[in-house]
């Protein structure tokens, strides 16, 4: 087992979870508008949805690996290209961070959990991202690929849960910091670009 690969995966996941995106911005807005418990309910729904994507990836890609090494290389190549495409999209996007908690509809905890779950499960971009991100971090030649994908999924969910929970619990302080530091959006923008390009190179090499 190559622990360096697992550590690299956890670090990359941490940076991506901290970088502003639709999911963590939604958690932030819910926490600001309705309270920390509502942000946490959203977090739990989002993270639970990752189990579905991990399962589909584990059994689908593992079957491809067993069938043909060249097909697996093709998946990694497409994954690297997709990550470079994401880096380009971030580069072209506006660096300004904006969130508006006004007129956010009030939902109970169960509704927010369910909404978070389906936001994740029904988002094809999440499935594509998992397919691009995970295969490059298989860390053992002796362990079953299904087990490895589930372990990677577990690390991804644990790291994302911790960071998303921190966003929910510290929503007020995060909002104040962003409003005081206008350049924080630029920092996170370039951090995402560097991470996406770095992961793509890692997968290719």
- State the DSSP code for 135: G
* Dihedral angle computed from the Cα positions of residues 80, 125, 149 and 161, in that order, rounded to the nearest 10 degrees: 120
| Confidence at residue 99, expressed as pLDDT on a 0 to 100 scale | 61
Residue-averaged pLDDT of the chain? 89
| Diameter over CA atoms, the chain | 54
Q: How confident is the model at residue 146 (pLDDT cuts 50, 70, 90)?
A: very high
Q: State how far Cα 149 lies from the chain centre.
A: 15
The tens digit of pLDDT for each residue in 98-137 reads 666 666 677 889 999 999 999 999 988 899 999 999 998 9
Q: Alpha-carbon distance 124 to 109, whole Å? A: 25
| Confidence at residue 98, expressed as pLDDT on a 0 to 100 scale | 63
């Amino acid at each position: 087992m190559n622990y360096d690969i697992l550590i690299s995966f956890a670090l990359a996941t941490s940076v991506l979870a901290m970088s502003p995106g639709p999911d963590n911005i939604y958690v932030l807005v819910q926490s600001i508008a309705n309270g920390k418990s509502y942000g946490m309910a959203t977090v739990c729904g989002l993270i639970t949805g990752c189990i579905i994507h991990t399962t589909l990836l584990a059994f689908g890609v593992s079957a491809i690996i067993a069938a043909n090494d060249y097909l697996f290389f093709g998946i990694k190549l497409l994954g690297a290209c997709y990550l470079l495409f994401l880096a380009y999209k971030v580069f072209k996007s506006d660096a300004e961070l904006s969130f508006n908690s006004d007129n956010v509809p009030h939902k109970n905890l169960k509704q927010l959990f369910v909404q978070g779950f389906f936001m994740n499960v029904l988002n094809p971009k999440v499935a594509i991202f998992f397919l691009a991100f995970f295969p490059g971090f298989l860390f053992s030649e002796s362990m079953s690929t299904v087990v490895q994908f589930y372990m990677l999924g577990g690390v991804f969910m644990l790291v994302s849960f911790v960071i998303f929970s921190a966003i929910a619990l510290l929503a007020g302080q995060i909002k104040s910091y962003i409003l005081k530091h206008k350049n924080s959006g630029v920092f996170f923008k370039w951090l995402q670009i560097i991470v996406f390009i770095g992961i793509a190179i890692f997968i290719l090499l």
